[in-house]
């Protein structure tokens, strides 16, 4: 009887639960690229979901722990996207999330409403960690030796089929280089191809190696990137150019190499008519062409192989301490937003205006009270005058003496540096954001670019900030749950990639150079200025859709003071604005980008600088919290 009652109760309970809520969804999550992680970077998390029951509409989230309790910036960020699972559906989702340490697990949750359908915790201590991750797009596993070539840098090689390459550039954040050999890039989706180009433009390295299938190097997607024109195959007896470069004997045995001709870039081994190792710049990154098949004999046993791959990968031996210190919070006080709040960006009245206002107010009240003491029989009239003075001055103070920013729910600042990456069609944006609230509340930030990377965040002020952020990556990127107590400031550092809104073409000639600046964006480029050989050339404003041509002759222009700070020179030449707060935004951006470099140092490589007088990281008009900001546009000119 007891068992029968128990079974009845269980049947009643399960009968009351909707069919879609019953655990009929299986989920499997994987860390990194083939399980390989790189701490301090954004890493891929792949989630496979199989729906065994009815249709499910839910939310898939990946939660990571960042920051440090000791520094006071510990917080969690949950990256979410909506999920629709028809009956029997199998779907694969990829996330790129920041991972800075191994103490806390990555938590993956599928929920519908408040009901958790599936959950998995990924232990970071069980992952494969590396300081350098190399992705191999090859038909073999002949790159394993790279794990032993770099003794000072822990290196791992990951072999991926083209279908598993990231679809957004943030998924490449943990990757140092991609090696392509015997694999076609034509199979990549448009999103994958764009992600590869954006990562490459932002500092990645793509190596294209030769083999018997040389025609793959002539396919459109790879051909547009290579520094050579591939002509075919040829058989040679030994490689004396490698012997001359690396001073290591090379067997004089017959072998096949890819025959090519230099079209751009720099020949490292060989000649322009018979290049064996060539590289070219692609924005901040590099494209490398290797004419030989590194997997064929005698290369696997050649003693100079390590030196060759050091030339190819050019792994930096020195740590970028400036970036490391910034992400660890050691440079928080020098953050542009912190410098910005050290300047009078809030539009308070001057001290002289306040003093004059108070003197007039107190003087009128003093006169009324003095007259009241002399004429007590008409005291009620003077009391009426006192009331009128108080009311009139209180109402008038609401207009000229009110700081309107403090009457808003929040002040949002966006100061961004946009670096145009020449010959790539992309721009790298480094955003510095601040959210300040006098009243406190919960706020959202909408970003212009869907694949934005949050590098660092911290809080300052009297009040505290919430520790649980939510990043929605459904189509666009939106940061939710920015909870602030009264008088609290939250600061963010971000990175993003975008199609370049300004195209700059430079052609040097005997007496100087010719420059063309074409504005393809929706905003005018203000105060366009070229710094060349220590001299300043003003191009003025470039309207949307307009192209400006100019010939620059350094010998005909007087040089600025070579020892003057670059940021001061450019600040003096900024476009004049009625709003003085814009000048403060421009000042902190120039100081952040150029630092203490003097004009003589900064002009060793000519560059163009200009201004977009609008935010470039955040959506300018975001609901009730409009963002204030400017964008510094910089383009290094390749001569």
268-272, 285-289, 395-399, 401-405: which range is least confident on average? 401-405
- Reading phi first (left if > 0) and then psi (alpha if -120 to 50, else beta), residue 481 is in left
Residue-wise pLDDT tens digits, 61-78 = 999 998 877 677 788 999
On whether both 224 and 81 belong to a single domain, the answer is no
Residue-wise pLDDT tens digits, 319-376 = 555 555 555 566 778 889 988 887 765 655 556 777 777 888 888 888 777 777 777 7
Helix (H) or strand (E) holding 85: strand 75-85
Whether residue 465 lies inside any domain: the answer is yes
The pLDDT of residue 618: 93
- Last residue of one domain, picked from the residues 318, 342, 371: 318
Q: Cα separation of 419 and 193, whole Å? A: 21
On whether both 437 and 392 belong to a single domain, the answer is no
On whether both 290 and 356 belong to a single domain, the answer is no
The pLDDT of residue 626: 78
Residue 374, classified by CB atoms within 10 Å of its CB into exposed (0-12), middle (13-18) or buried (19+), is exposed
On whether both 493 and 611 belong to a single domain, the answer is yes
Q: What is the pTM of this model?
A: 0.85
Which segments of 106-218 does DSSP mark as H helices, in order? 146-149, 190-201
Q: Is the pLDDT of residue 6 over 50?
A: no
User: Which tokens hold the place of 205?
Assistant: 């390295």
Whether residue 35 lies inside any domain: the answer is no
The residue that leads in pLDDT, 273 or 22, is 273
On whether both 109 and 134 belong to a single domain, the answer is no
Residue-wise pLDDT tens digits, 99-156 = 988 889 999 999 998 899 999 999 998 888 998 999 999 988 889 999 888 878 889 9
Q: Cα separation of 223 and 225, whole Å? A: 5
On whether both 520 and 611 belong to a single domain, the answer is yes
On whether both 266 and 382 belong to a single domain, the answer is no
On whether both 369 and 264 belong to a single domain, the answer is no
On whether both 283 and 136 belong to a single domain, the answer is yes
Token match 């031996």: residue? 317
- Last residue of one domain, picked from the residues 119, 139, 161: 119
Residue-wise pLDDT tens digits, 554-575 = 776 665 666 788 888 888 888 7
On whether both 609 and 490 belong to a single domain, the answer is yes
Q: Cα separation of 464 and 575, whole Å? A: 38
Token match 């096949």: residue? 256
Whether residue 329 lies inside any domain: the answer is no
Q: Is the pLDDT of residue 396 over 50?
A: yes
Helix (H) or strand (E) holding 581: helix 580-594
The pLDDT of residue 544: 95
* Structural domain containing residue 372: 351-402
Q: How many domains does the chain have?
A: 4
Mean pLDDT computed over every residue of the chain: 86
Residues facing 549 on adjacent strands: 516
Count of H-run helices and E-run strands, the chain: 13, 32
183: CATH: 3.40.50.880
On whether both 303 and 244 belong to a single domain, the answer is yes
Whether residue 512 lies inside any domain: the answer is yes
Whether residue 11 lies inside any domain: the answer is no
Query: What sign does the CA torsion over 95, 100, 102, 104 have?
Result: negative
On whether both 523 and 600 belong to a single domain, the answer is yes
Whether residue 151 lies inside any domain: the answer is yes
Which segments of 150-239 does DSSP mark as H helices, in order? 190-201, 220-223
Residues facing 286 on adjacent strands: 205, 281
Whether residue 328 lies inside any domain: the answer is no
- Last residue of one domain, picked from the residues 402, 436, 462: 402
Which segments of 431-539 does DSSP mark as H helices, in order? none
Whether residue 527 lies inside any domain: the answer is yes
Q: Where does the pLDDT of residue 298 fall: very low under 50, low under 70, confident under 90, or very high at 90 and above? A: confident
Contact present, 221 and 193 (Cβ < 8 Å) = yes
């Amino acid at each position: 009887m007891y068992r029968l009652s128990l079974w009845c109760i269980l049947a009643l309970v399960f009968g009351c639960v909707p069919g879609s809520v019953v655990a009929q969804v299986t989920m499997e999550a994987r860390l990194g690229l083939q399980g390989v992680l790189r701490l301090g970077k954004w890493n891929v998390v792949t989630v496979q979901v199989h729906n065994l029951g009815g249709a499910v509409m839910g939310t898939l989230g990946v939660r990571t722990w960042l920051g440090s309790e000791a520094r006071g910036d510990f917080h969690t960020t949950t990256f979410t996207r909506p999920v629709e699972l028809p009956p029997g559906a199998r779907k694969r989702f990829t996330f790129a999330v920041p991972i800075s340490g191994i103490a806390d697990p990555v938590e993956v949750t599928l929920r519908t409403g408040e009901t958790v359908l599936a959950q998995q915790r990924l232990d970071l201590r069980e992952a494969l960690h590396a300081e350098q991750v190399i992705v191999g797009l090859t038909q073999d596993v002949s790159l394993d030796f790279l794990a032993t070539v770099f003794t000072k840098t822990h290196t791992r090689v990951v072999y991926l089929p083209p279908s598993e390459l990231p679809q957004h550039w943030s998924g490449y954040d943990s990757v140092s280089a991609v090696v392509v050999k015997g694999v076609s890039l034509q199979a990549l989706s448009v999103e994958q191809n764009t992600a590869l180009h954006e990562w490459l433009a932002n500092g990645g390295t793509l190596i294209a190696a030769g083999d018997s299938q040389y025609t793959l190097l002539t396919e459109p997607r790879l051909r547009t990137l290579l520094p050579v024109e591939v002509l075919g195959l040829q058989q040679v007896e030994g490689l004396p150019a490698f012997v001359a470069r690396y001073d290591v004997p090379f067997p004089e045995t017959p072998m096949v190499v890819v025959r090519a001709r230099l079209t751009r870039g720099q020949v490292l081994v060989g000649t322009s008519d018979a290049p064996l190792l060539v590289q070219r710049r692609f924005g901040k990154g590099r494209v490398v062409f290797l004419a030989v098949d590194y997997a064929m004999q005698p290369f696997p046993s050649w003693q100079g192989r390590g030196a060759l791959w050091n030339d190819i990968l050019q792994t930096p031996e020195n740590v970028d301490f400036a970036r490391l210190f910034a992400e660890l919070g050691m440079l928080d006080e020098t953050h542009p937003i912190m410098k910005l709040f050290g300047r009078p960006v809030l539009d308070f009245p001057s001290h002289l205006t306040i003093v004059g206002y108070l003197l007039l107010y107190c003087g009128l009240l003093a006169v009324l009270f003095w007259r009241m003491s002399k004429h007590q029989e008409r005291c009620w009239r003077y009391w009426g005058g006192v009331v009128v003075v108080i009311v009139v001055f209180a109402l008038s103070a609401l207009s000229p003496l009110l700081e309107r920013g403090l009457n808003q729910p929040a002040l949002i600042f966006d100061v961004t540096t946009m670096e145009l990456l020449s010959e790539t069609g992309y721009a790298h944006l480094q955003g510095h954001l601040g959210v300040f609230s006098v009243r406190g509340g919960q706020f959202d930030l909408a970003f212009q670019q869907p694949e934005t990377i949050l590098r660092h965040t911290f809080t300052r002020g009297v009040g505290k900030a919430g520790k649980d952020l939510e990043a929605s990556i459904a189509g666009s990127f939106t940061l939710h749950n920015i909870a602030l107590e009264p008088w609290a400031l939250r600061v963010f550092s971000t990175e993003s990639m975008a199609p370049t809104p300004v195209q700059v073409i430079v052609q040097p000639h005997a007496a100087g150079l010719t420059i063309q600046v074409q504005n393809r964006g929706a905003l005018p480029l203000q105060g366009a200025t070229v710094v060349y050989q220590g001299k300043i050339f003003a191009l003025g404003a470039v309207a949307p859709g307009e192209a400006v041509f100019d010939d620059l002759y350094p010998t005909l222009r007087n040089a600025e003071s070579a020892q003057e700070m670059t940021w001061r020179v450019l600040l003096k030449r900024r476009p004049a604005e009625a709003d003085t707060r814009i000048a403060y935004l421009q000042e902190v951006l120039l100081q952040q980008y150029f630092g203490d470099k003097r004009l003589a140092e900064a002009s060793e490589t000519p560059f163009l600088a200009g201004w977009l007088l609008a935010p470039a990281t955040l959506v300018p008009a975001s609901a009730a919290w409009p963002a204030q900001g400017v964008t510094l546009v910089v383009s290094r000119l390749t001569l």
